[in-house]
Amino acid sequence: MKTASPHASGRGFLRRSRLRFAALAGALGFLAGCMPSTMGPVQDGSSFPATPAAPTVAGEMIGDGSIRVGLLLPLSGGGSASSIATTFKNAAQLAISDFQGSNIQLLVKDTQGTAEGGRAAAEAAMSEGAELLLGPVFAPAVTGAANAARNAGIPIVAFSSDTAVAAPGVYLLSFLPAGDVRRIVGYAAQQNRKSFAALLPDDAYGAVAEAAFRQEVGRVGGRIVAIQRYKLTGSDTSDLAAKAQQLAPNLPQIDALFVPAGGGVAPFVVQTLVQQGANLGTVKLLGSGQWETQQVTNSPMMAGAWFPGPEKSGFDALASRYQAAYGSPPPRNASLAYDGTILAAGLVRSAGPQRFATQTLTNRDGFLGIDGVFRFLPNGQNERGLAVYEITGSGVKPVSPAPRDFRSPS
């Protein structure tokens, strides 16, 4: 997708302007908005040309604004997929309620979680006038939706974390492995830890994490002593145990061990190494955002380990509002649908006819949402401002705050 750039003669004025959108969410106690922008002047909507009558909508809608946005979710995906769809739809509804005077209408479409369903959902939303697509959630559905949206020149803000589906015009709002690796390795290096090893799953996530790990360790001037890849088959942890044992002889040569997988992987690795008589006293265990579960953060054997994640206050406030509205606490990823909806509503209010243009969505100064600052890159991936947390064995404590903008070093 390509969109015309502003005329060169107006760029000086455009650089001085500020693009800001506000979620008027007093109960949440925060402001969601854009950072200073290179975009054009704020529009009040009074000079917009008249628009033709909108097509008839088939299916569920959220909001009654004049600008239509598709919300593509795996409503009939079954099991956890349908549960995610319900959560994301609720979070989007909450965002519309919080953003007073929102001028968007969400067209809720079912992707079924498949490539074919994603394409059909995107085509349905676009035929009904959607100018932007939020979702899908799963990578195959994103691929299907992107194939349809690319031909129509409609951008996508997707919720998948699979960077293979990111592309110009297909932007990922999720938390990406490379961002976690960049933050935690960078922080470890700042604490004078320069010799690294890693224990990574032998899957697509592990491959992405390894590439990012190698790049970031090189960037900070560190060295990689060893990398082991393990396979997990169901509850069979024999290969994980074997690969952890193979790392044990390297421990005297390292001062940081990267084990990004969530669940019980990291505690199991620590237990295995301790049982082998390994000395972990001088080795700092490093993780990823997948560690943000009670199973990991409340494990005494994980005390002292570091992992990256967004600031917690915004999500905690959102979770309180969500529970009050829907009777149960939301999963951690509910913030994606909330922030995506707020982003769309804010850009409609603030960016005028350029609301979903490429230069708007890839504004280098980024946006401020529930989870802190973020920005989309031209290749469809993103950067986020993350904090670093230390596990205490009964929770976590922040040891390095998230940056408030992209001028601040992380």
For strands 104-110 and 67-73, give the pairing.
parallel
Handedness of CA 67, 147, 92, 17 (dihedral sign): negative
Residue 219 tokens, joined: 């960037």
Backbone phi and psi for residue 263, each to the nearest 5 degrees, phi listed first:
65, -140
d(CA 154, CA 147): 11
pLDDT for residue 3: 35
Kindly report the average pLDDT of the chain as a whole number: 88
pLDDT at residue 22 is higher than 50: no
Calculate mean pLDDT across residues 45-50: 45
pLDDT at residue 40 is higher than 50: no
Per-residue model confidence as pLDDT tens digits over 168-190: 999 999 999 999 999 999 999 99
pLDDT at residue 44 is higher than 70: no
Q: If pLDDT is split at 50, 70 and 90, which confidence band does 295 have?
A: very high
Q: How many helices (H) and strands (E) does the chain have?
A: 12, 17
pLDDT at residue 304 is higher than 80: yes
pLDDT at residue 46 is higher than 50: no
Per-residue model confidence as pLDDT tens digits over 203-261: 999 999 999 999 999 999 999 999 999 999 888 999 999 999 999 999 999 999 999 99
For strands 195-201 and 223-230, give the pairing.
parallel
d(CA 147, CA 165): 11
Calculate mean pLDDT across residues 93-99: 96
For helices 139-152 and 115-127, angle between their N-to-C axes, nearest 10 degrees: 40
Which of the given ranges, 7-21, 39-53, 179-193, has the highest pLDDT on average?
Answer: 179-193
pLDDT at residue 137 is higher than 50: yes
pLDDT at residue 136 is higher than 60: yes
Backbone phi and psi for residue 54, each to the nearest 5 degrees, phi listed first:
-75, 150
pLDDT for residue 29: 31
Calculate mean pLDDT across residues 62-79: 97
pLDDT for residue 52: 63
State which amino acid sits at residue 378.
Answer: P
pLDDT at residue 315 is higher than 80: yes
Percent of the chain past pLDDT 90, that is, above it, reads 81
pLDDT at residue 306 is higher than 80: yes
Cβ atoms of residues 159 and 135 within 8 Å: yes
Give 56 or 63, the one with higher predicted confidence.
63
Query: Burial, 133: exposed, middle or buried (Cβ in 10 Å; 0-12, 13-18, 19+)?
Result: buried
Q: If pLDDT is split at 50, 70 and 90, which confidence band does 314 have?
A: very high
Type and span of the H or E element at 12: helix 11-16
Q: If pLDDT is split at 50, 70 and 90, which confidence band does 57 have?
A: confident
Per-residue model confidence as pLDDT tens digits over 368-403: 999 999 999 999 999 999 999 999 989 999 999 999
d(CA 218, CA 208): 16
Looking at the chain, which residues constitute the CATH 3.40.50.2300 domain(s)? 57-175+311-379, 177-309+388-400
d(CA 121, CA 148): 9
pLDDT at residue 338 is higher than 90: yes
Neighbours of 322 (CB within 10 A): 22
pTM for this model (two decimals): 0.85
Taking every pair of C-alpha atoms in the chain, what is the biggest distance, in angstroms? Answer: 74
Domain 57-175+311-379: which CATH class? Answer: alpha beta
Calculate mean pLDDT across residues 318-345: 97
Residue 38 DSSP one-character state: S
pLDDT for residue 279: 86
pLDDT at residue 16 is higher than 50: no
Which residues sit opposite 70 in a β-bridge?
Answer: 107, 133
Query: Burial, 27: exposed, middle or buried (Cβ in 10 Å; 0-12, 13-18, 19+)?
Result: exposed
Fold of the domain built from segment(s) 177-309+388-400:
Rossmann fold (3.40.50)
